[in-house]
Amino acid sequence: MKYYKGKYKPKNLKKYEGDFSNITYRSHWERQAFKWCDDNKDIIGWSSESVIVPYRCKTDGKMHRYFVDLFIRMKDGSCYLIEIKPKKQTVPPKERSRKTKKYLNEVMTYAKNLSKWEAAQAFAHKRGMKFQVWHEETLRSLGIKLLT
């Protein structure tokens, strides 16, 4: 996944729950998901990084704030908190005989993500919402076009 960021300009301003003049995407996948939310007739409201979940990180034991990628409000009343990540970051790193710097970084990143996601799951459940992690396969299954 190529990393890039920019400002997203929604077509349906009334659907965006927040400051529509300051929507930042941090990847192509986020941008495409924003466009999907903006165009989807079943979505009555959405926002980016508007929900902040406090969590205790397993890597340092300290409290942090997790800014969830997407909040989505559906026509049927259901609400979702969505994190967008590459699939390889949603599974534990494969065990390696050599503990390289890269491997240790992958282990720490996965542990940090798990801390965030467990907190987001509890946060969402407590408020009658659902938390989901979307990766490239999820995005494609929703009909979201991605760069290859």
Active site residue 69: yes
Name residues whose C-beta falls within 8 Å of residue 75's C-beta, 6 or more positions apart in sequence. Answer: 41, 42, 43, 44
Residues 37, 9: Cα–Cα separation, whole Å: 12
Please tell me which residue in 15, 38, 83, 85 is annotated as part of the active site: 85
Active site residue 38: no
Residues 136, 103: Cα–Cα separation, whole Å: 22
Please tell me which residue in 30, 38, 83, 116 is annotated as part of the active site: 30
Angle at CA of residue 77, ends 68 and 144, nearest 5°: 55
Using only the alpha carbons of the chain, give its radius of gyration: 16
Please tell me which residue in 38, 69, 83, 116 is annotated as part of the active site: 69
Active site residue 94: no
Query: Which residues are annotated as catalytic?
Result: 30, 69, 85
